[in-house]
Amino acid sequence: MDILHGIELGLHTALTWHALLYCLIGVSVGTFVGVLPGIGALAAISLALPLTYYLDPTDALIMLAGIFYGAQYGGSTASILLNLPGTATAAITCLDGYPLAQQGKAPLAIFVTAINSFVGSTFAIILVMGFAPLIAEFALKFGAADYFAVILLGLVAASTMTLGSPFKALGMVVFGLALGMVGTDVNTGQFRFTFGVFELADGFSIVALAMGLFGVAEIIANIGQPAGVMQAVGKIRFRDMLPTRKEWKVITWPTLRGSAIGSFVGALPGTGPGIASLMAYAVEKRISKHPETFGKGALEGISAPEAANNASVQAAFIPTLSLGIPGDAVVAVLMGAMILHGITPGPNLINEQPQMFWGLIMSFWVGNLLLLVLNIPLIGMWVKLLSVPYRMLYPCVLIFICLGVYSANNNVFDIFVVLGFGILGYLMRRTGFPATPVLLGFILGPLLEENFRRAMLLSKGDLMVFFESPISAVFMGLSLLFIASVFLPGLRARLSRRAPKASE
C-alpha cells in the first residue's frame, strides 16, 4: 500500500468521533501524569490498560499511545518550574530549565519545550510513515557488540556533561554504575549486591532513583526556606512566551539534532527516551561554542533533550509495529495490549492490520496537534503554580512522588527507596556532588555490561568483535574522536608551544 492510500485510510480511522475522543483523553491524561512528579507514562499506562480491555483495539491503542507521548510533553514543566522532574526522562531538563525559570523566563522555557516536543514528534512520525520497515530491518542488524559501542559512545559523550569538579562527577558516574549492578545478574541468575534484601532482586527502580535524587532532594533542600522566595507571578502575556528572533535561531539546530538523535535511539529496541535525552544534551554541550552557558539556563540545553525524548517515544513504534519487537518498556506494555485484543504484533502487522497501523500513525498527528493546542494555554496556569506557597505545594508533590513510585509495582519497599535516595541526594547537594552522573551511570551501566557480556558469550571471548562488526567499528571510532576532541585542544596548545623551539 502506498503512503497516500495509507494516510487516507488512517484519517478515516483517526478522525471518527470515538477515536478523537480517546485520543483527547489519552493526551490529556498523558500531559497530566507528565506534569505530576513521580507518576510517569509506565505507571499511568499500566493503570489504564485494564480499562481498555473493553474498548475497540484501535481506540485502546490510540488512547494508550496518547498517554505515552503526552507524558513527554508534560514532563518538562515541573523540571523547569520547580526543579522537580515530572518524569524520570525529564531529569535532564532540570539542568537548564530551572535556571531559566529563576531568570523569570519560565513561560518562554515551557513554550520552547512544547515546540521542541512537537518538532521531535513530527520528525519521528515522518520516519515511521515513510520508512518504518526499512529502519526496523536496519535496527535488526544491531547485535550485542553494536549496542555496546553505541552505549559506550553515550557514556563517553555524556562524561563531558557536568559543571564543577570533574573528579566528583567521575566518582558519581562510578557510583551510578555500582547502583546499576544491584539486582539479578542476567547471565547467571544470581542475586548481586542485594544484601539479603529480596525486594532488591530486581534492582533499584529507575523512577525511585530519579525521583529521589532530583525530586525529594529538592524538597528537602527547600525545607525552612522563608516563604518570601516565592516569585510574584503577574499576568502571563503571550508575548512573554514567544521566543525572539535570536532565540528561535538558537533553538533551531539543537531541536533538529535532538530529533535525529532521539529517532535513532528510539528505533533501537531496548533503549528509550531517558538515554535519548541524555545523549542529545551531551552532544549539544560538546559541539556548542559556549559550553560554559550550559547549566545556567541555555535554551539549547532544554531544546535538544526535549526534542529527543519525544522523537524517541514516537520512533519506538518503528520496531514494534513493523517487527513486533518493542522499542522500550512502555511500548512493551502497549504490545501486551494488542495481544490482549487478539492482534499479535509481528512482521505482518502493517499488511494484515493496515487500518490499525495507519489509524494509529494518523492519531499521532492528531494527538500532537491536540497537545500543542492544549499545552500553550496551560502555560499560564502552570506558571501560577509558583505562587502556591511551598508549605502547601511540597507536601502534595511528595505524596504524588510516593504514589507514583508505589503504583509502578504495588510495592511499599520502593517508597522507602525513593525517600532514601532523597536524603542521599540532599547530602550530595550539600557537599557538591552532582546527581546527573549518577543517573547516567545507573541507566547506561547495566546496558553496557549486559551487551558486553553477551557479545563475549557469542564471540567466545574474542574482543576483536567490537571492531569487526562495521556498525560497532563506526561507533567505537566516534567514541575515540570524542575523547580526542577533549584532549586534542590541550595537546595542540602544548605542541604549538614546543614548535618554535624545534625550529630554533
Binding range to another protein, per CB under 8 A, among 73-81, 198-206, 213-221, 237-245? 198-206
Between 30 and 295, name the residue whose CB sits nearer to another protein.
30
Q: Is 199 in the site for another protein (CB under 8 A)?
A: yes
Spatial separation of the C-alpha atoms in residues 368 and 375, rounded to whole Å: 10
Our CB check for another protein shows the closer of 50 and 389 to be 50
Distance CA 464, CA 195 (A): 36
In the bound complex, what is the minimum distance in angstroms from residue 438's beta carbon to another protein?
A: 22
Q: Is 151 left (phi over 0), alpha (psi -120 to 50) or beta?
A: alpha
- CA 484, CA 304: separation in Å to the nearest integer? 23
Burial label, 194 (beta-carbon count in 10 A; 0-12, 13-18, 19+):
middle
Which residue type does 191 have?
Answer: F
Site for another protein in 245-264 (CB under 8 A): none
Stretch of residues binding another protein (CB under 8 A), selected from 22-30, 257-265, 393-401, 405-413 = 405-413
- The sign of the torsion formed by the CA atoms of 233, 236, 241, 245 equals negative
Is residue 462 involved in binding another protein (CB under 8 A)? Answer: no
- Indicate left, alpha or beta for 92 from its phi (over 0: left) and psi (-120 to 50: alpha): alpha
304: closest CA among 277, 286, 264, 265?
277
* Distance in angstroms (rounded) separating the CA atoms of residues 220 and 222: 5
Interactions with another protein, residue window 213-242 (CB under 8 A): none
Of the pair 55, 376, the CB lying nearest another protein is at: 55
Contact pattern for another protein over residues 49 through 88, marking x by CB under 8 A: xxx-xx----------------------------------
Q: Judge whether 255 and 308 are in contact, CB under 8 Å.
A: no
- The span from the CA of 476 to the CA of 456, in Å, is 16
How many residues bind to another protein according to rule CB under 8 A?
50
Q: Which window, 241-249, 319-327, 355-363, 394-402, contacts another protein (CB under 8 A)? A: 319-327
Q: Which of 57, 270, 291, 380 binds another protein (CB under 8 A)?
A: 270
Cβ closer to another protein: 305 or 446? 446
Give the interface segment with another protein, choosing from 111-119, 194-202, 385-393, 486-494 (CB under 8 A): 194-202
Residues in contact with another protein, shown as a per-residue x/- string from 158 to 187 under the rule CB under 8 A? --------------------------x-xx
Rounded to a whole number of angstroms, the minimum distance from the CB of residue 46 to another protein is 5
Which stretch, 100-108, 135-143, 286-294, 372-380, contacts another protein (CB under 8 A)?
A: 135-143
Q: Cβ 201 to another protein, closest distance in Å?
A: 4
Shortest reach from residue 230's CB to another protein, in Å: 40
233 exposure class (CB count in 10 Å sphere: 0-12, 13-18, 19+): middle
Q: Which is nearer to another protein, 39 or 169 (CB)?
A: 39
Tell me how far, at minimum, the Cβ of 69 lies from another protein, in Å: 18
Among 69, 118, 148, 191, binds another protein (CB under 8 A): 191
Q: How far is the CB of 446 from another protein (least distance, A)?
A: 9
Q: Give min distance, CB of 324 to another protein, in A.
A: 6
**Which grid cell sits at 472?**
560497532
> 528509550: which residue's cell?
272
Cβ neighbours of residue 322 closer than 8 Å, sequence gap 6 or more = 132, 133, 135, 136, 347, 349, 350
State which of positions 368-397 bind another protein (CB under 8 A).
Answer: none
Are 124 and 451 contacting, i.e. CB atoms less than 8 angstroms apart? no
C-alpha count within 13 angstroms, C-beta hemisphere, residue 460: 0
Which residues are CB-neighbours of 118 under 8 A, at least 6 positions away? 310, 368, 371, 372
- Say how far apart CA 132 and CA 61 lie, in whole Å: 18
- CA 127 – CA 390 distance, rounded (Å): 44
Position among 12, 168, 296, 454 found at the interface with another protein (CB under 8 A) = 454
* Residue selected from 202, 250, 380, 471 as contacting another protein according to rule CB under 8 A: 202
102 or 184: CB nearest another protein = 184
Of the pair 129, 335, the CB lying nearest another protein is at 335
Closest CA to 150 of 29, 272, 253: 272
Q: Which of 16, 160, 355, 409 binds another protein (CB under 8 A)?
A: 409
End-to-end CA distance of the chain: 73
**Residue 265 or 428 with smaller CB distance to another protein:** 265
Binding string to another protein for residues 321 to 360, with x set by CB under 8 A, is what? Answer: --xxxx-----xxxxxx-xx-x-xxxxx------------
Contact set with another protein (CB under 8 A): 46, 49-51, 53-54, 140-144, 184, 186-191, 198-199, 201-202, 269-270, 319, 323-326, 332-337, 339-340, 342, 344-348, 409-411, 450, 454, 457-458
